[in-house]
Amino acid sequence: MQVSKVLVVDGNRVTRDALVTCLQFIGVEAHGAECAVTANCWLSTGNADVLVLSDELGEGGLMELVERCGPRESAPKIPILMLARDGIGVRMPPNYIADETLRRPVAVSRVVERIESLIDRGRCASRVHLTFGVLTLDLASGRATVDEASLALGRTEARLLAFFMGAPDRVFSRAQLLQRLWPANVRVEERTVDVHIRRLRAGLTDLQCADYIQTVRGSGYRFSRQLD
């Protein structure tokens, strides 16, 4: 699998280095830049799967980097995670938004989780179909198919299935699924995950694939063809 690249642009060296180190520890190719000039030099020679920006760069530096990502009505080409000080408004160029915004102070582990979520989202967006066993998911339509049988999933259930299919045989707790699949600024309870799991299982029952979603007692859920 291709190694993901993340560029962390933050004038605070301690914060920047801590985040880069944690990302490298989990296998991400992470680089740090202290200002917009350095970041632009790096981006001119390489690609980033996620761009982490600090509002401490100032309005000019932020706009310069965001505009480099290329205009898009809903989000920049390169997913952007904004780190903002609590109570400070983040000004972005017109027609640009950050994919995620986290308010400081925030744990490094939380930032890493949101970066992983953006990486997962980008991987799915770059593919048209996902396949696992006999099951195929059309990412554009959210339709799951087995042979001639097909099922249109709800938006959340389709995202949940795409996530599972992209990370088979791994156990995820309810908290991890919330952190990966729901925006950081949306507050939902862990039982919300159970509700969508039940809906997804009910749909996959019609396709004879409900047993792919397995409950791991005391831990959470996994997507697997292996039976304990």
Q: How many other C-beta atoms can be found within 10 angstroms of the C-beta atom of residue 126?
A: 9
Instruction: Enter the pTM of the model.
Output: 0.58
Average pLDDT, the chain: 81
Q: 7-51: per-residue pLDDT in tens?
A: 999 988 998 999 999 998 888 889 999 888 888 888 877 778 888
Helix axes 155-166, 174-181, angle to 10 degrees: 110
Name the pLDDT band for 1 (thresholds 50, 70, 90).
Answer: very low
So what's the architecture of 127-223 in CATH? Orthogonal Bundle (1.10)
CATH topology of domain 5-123: Rossmann fold (3.40.50)
Here the contacts of 214-221 (C-beta below 8 Å, separation 24 or greater) are 216/171, 219/171, 219/173, 220/171, 220/172, 220/173, 220/174, 220/176, 220/177, 221/164, 221/171, 221/172, 221/174, 221/177, 221/193, 221/197
Name the pLDDT band for 97 (thresholds 50, 70, 90).
Answer: low
Domain extents for the chain? Answer: 5-123, 127-223
Q: 98-144: per-residue pLDDT in tens?
A: 778 888 888 888 898 888 888 877 665 556 678 888 899 887 788 89
Q: Do domains 5-123 and 127-223 have the same CATH topology?
A: no
Rounded CA separation 82/127 (Å): 26
